[in-house]
Amino acid sequence: MSVTFIDLFAGIGGFHAAGESLGWDCVFANEIDPAAAAIYELNWNQTALGNIHDFTRGTKKKPIPSHDVLFGGFPCQPFSKSGKQLGMEEDRGSLFHDIAFILEKHKPSMVVLENVRNIAGPRHAHEWKYIIEKLRELGYRVSSKPFVVSPHKIPPSYGGTPQARERVFIVGTRLPSKKHALAGDDTPLKFPTDFDGWDIGNWDLFNDLPLEPNSSANKMKYRLSNDEILILDAWDDLVKEMLIHRDGLRLPGFPLWSDLWGKKPVYEKDSKAPDWKKDFEAKNEQFYEEHKKLIDQWLSKHPEIRNTTPSKRKLEWQAQDMKSLWDGLIHFRPSGIRVKRATYVPALVAITQTTIIGKYKRRITPTEAARLQGMTDNFTFGEQSDVMSYKQLGNGVAVGAVYQVVKAAIERDAEILKVTNPALLKTVKKAPQSPVKSKVTPKKTRAAEIS
């Protein structure tokens, strides 16, 4: 008898990839966004499009089937720092009630939920408490201690990927009875001790992703524009000059703001500015005074700095003693141009802040971004636009993180599952150390209509 799972708020199928790697069968998937649902069907040969409310609050001819595991990456926007943080006051936040309805009806042996780290923050203490208490009321062993997981903290041999993406996982294992001795137990999940020896500084994006060959003709569309290269070359010139002038000392950690430099600064200070901004201004003014001659020459040599957009007139150097900006990873952010070592990338986000590979002078491709989420090379976006693909990946879940979270939960709750679902326990115990490659062959669909 096979182990089954359902995939709620499925996106493009990160949970599905993890479940399939464990040898499980997906019996139901649901995704409200038509574009994401089309990519899901293209890769997993399974229809997902639909509103979950129709299954829990309305009437559907085909009800949600029974299942062993419920996966759910319920919408994070109500809890995200980038949103309004309305929590369950917003309808998307109330989607947890749909999950609770399904759990009460089908009583699966395990529930695995994922959301942004902020869901367990002080702003949403009420919501967090409600979720934990509701799961316990429904008969699940679940810890109130947030289990924060990021794929870059998982060794590559266990399915980790070089992406810093901290997410909270809420995992519940159904108890034999609501009066069980472990009801209300707060024991948190934990990863194998092997993880403790993994140094995140050991990631090397060029070897660990891996990157696609840079010589391909189709890489031209990911190449930086001439104007972008011009600005980055200008900042790189300052980086190199500063390393010489400062006898090899690294650049300061605070953001460098060229608007505060020069004989005629273009920024007018605000006496009512908050203290953090005043501190930022003071540090930049001191930095300018210490290197006045060099910076004045640099501004004279690179007039494009004054003429570019405000965000590109700032540099956030997080690359330590790296010798050139082009040796690292670059991000055009609203707060400035951020540069870091080519170890792991910041979290993929559902907005345009795509990582730039300095060495190649181009942005990462959708295929590379999919690899950062743990998707295998046969995963496809069909003819969909890159903008949509990046957005879907930014909303996705890291496959390796899900896989290891499930294994950690099985390890903790093995004695329970021996009684409630020995088949589930057996599949995970037999599963390999890291996710295996997908056996699904993408089918031909109306991919051209997805864009």
The model's pLDDT over 91-147, given as tens digits with 9 standing for 90+, comes to 444 788 899 999 999 999 999 999 988 887 888 788 899 999 999 999 999 999 999
Is residue 26 part of the annotated active site? The answer reads: no
Query: So what's the pLDDT on residue 236?
Result: 97
Residues 350 and 425 in one domain: no
Close Cβ partners of 227 (under 8 Å, ≥ 6 residues apart): 308
Inter-residue contact 161 to 364 (CB < 8 Å): no
Task: Inform me whether the pLDDT recorded for 88 exceeds 90.
Answer: no
Q: Among 8, 36, 52, 76, which one carries the catalytic annotation?
A: 76
Tell me if 296 is assigned to some domain: yes
Q: What is the pLDDT of residue 16?
A: 97
**Domain annotation covers residue 92:** yes
Q: Identify whether residues 114 and 153 lie together within a single domain.
A: yes
Q: Examine the domain organization and report whether 49 and 115 are in the same domain.
A: yes
Residues 116 and 154 occupy one common structural domain: yes
Q: Hey, which of 121-135, 183-197, 224-238 has the most confident mean pLDDT?
A: 224-238
Q: What is the pLDDT of residue 447?
A: 38
Looking at the domain assignment, is residue 205 inside a domain? no
Grade residue 86 by pLDDT with cuts at 50, 70 and 90.
Answer: very low
**Looking at the domain assignment, is residue 206 inside a domain?**
no
- State pTM to two decimals: 0.88
Range from 32-46, 121-135, 143-157 carrying the lowest mean pLDDT? 121-135
Half-sphere exposure of 394 (CA within 13 A, CB side): 18
Query: Where in the sequence is the domain holding 339, given as residue range(s)?
Result: 213-364
Q: Does residue 441 carry a pLDDT above 60?
A: no
Residues 105 and 173 in one domain: yes
Does residue 321 sit in the same domain as residue 397? Answer: no
Residue 433 within a domain = yes
pLDDT at 55 over 90: no
Domain boundary pick from 346, 364, 382:
364
Same domain, residue pair 141 and 166:
yes
Number of structural domains (the chain) is 2
210: cis peptide before it, omega within 30°? yes
Residue 162: name the closest of 316, 394, 346, 365 by CA: 346
Domain annotation covers residue 101: yes
Do 166 and 261 lie in a common domain?
A: no
Residues 158 and 244 in one domain: no
- Averaged pLDDT, 62-80: 78
235 lies in a domain? yes
* CATH number, domain containing residue 139: 3.40.50.150
261, 286: one domain: yes
Residue 248, in any domain of the structure: yes
Average pLDDT of the segment spanning 55-72:
83
Task: Write down the mean pLDDT value for the chain.
Answer: 88
In this prediction, residue 243 carries a pLDDT of 83
Confidence of residue 430 (pLDDT cuts 50, 70, 90): very high
What percentage of residues in the chain have a pLDDT greater than 70?
A: 90
Residues 194 and 244 in one domain: no
The answer to whether residues 271 and 149 belong to one domain is no
Whether residue 368 has pLDDT greater than 50: yes
